[in-house]
A and B are shown apart, each in its own frame.
Chain A
């Protein structure tokens, strides 16, 4: 089944403890992206990647890192999480990065930082 998977689905952590949220897609998609969803703000793009080793900042990149060493994986790293990063995070992928390509979303990771 074609899908985007994220792990973990739920995570509670403490301020300053490094964490990684994994994202993997099995559709051989070139483009991958991370979003955070907060009430009343919709989804905001954190980082995106147009291919292996090609990443760029979205609208809210502060406090996050990403890497794209393999085409299928695009982990999101919080090196020193803070309470304002408590949010619902979505990974997405699309076949390529042209305007015509819709994104396919993972199930989401709910992160709480205390």
Chain B
């Protein structure tokens, strides 16, 4: 069965410094992996996805993630945090026929001025 671990429930960074949000997954088959962002009182928006093509995936708003099969990780990074990045971030895995999506518990990102 597939599962997702997000290693930090809360990450706090200063504006202009790098962001690292960690995600580890467990999957029996070749997975697809996604990062979604949820701003306060909003729905979820796709940041980026990995579906077995390039292992370094670029997304919107300067975010990127690298799929590392040997480490079963899919960490999300951004070189320079902006105040508007403050939100909840979810790592998601799906496998097989892709009908069952499993979310991690989320990481809340705070950006300090």
Contact = CB atoms under 8 A, between A and B. Distances in A.
| Chains A and B come from one and the same complex | yes
Interface of A: 31, 33, 35, 40-45, 48, 50, 56, 58-59, 90, 92, 97-108
24 contacts: A31-B99, A40-B9, A40-B105, A42-B4, A42-B90, A42-B106, A43-B90, A45-B100, A48-B100, A90-B43, A90-B44, A97-B98, A98-B98, A99-B51, A99-B52, A99-B96, A100-B32, A101-B98, A102-B46, A102-B49, A103-B46, A105-B36, A105-B45, A107-B43
B76 to A, nearest CB: 15
B72 to A, nearest CB: 17
Interface residues of B, number: 28
Contacts of B51: 99-100
B104 A48 contact: no
Contacts of B104: 42
Contacts of A48: 99-100
- When A and B form their complex, which 4 residue pairs have the shortest distance between CB atoms, in order from nearest? A99-B98, A42-B103, A99-B32, A43-B103
Contact of A98 (B44, B46, B97): B97
Interface in B42-100: 42-46, 49, 51-52, 90, 94-100
A100 B50 CA distance: 8
B105 A99 contact: no
B66 to A, nearest CB: 18
Contacts of B100: 45, 48, 58-59
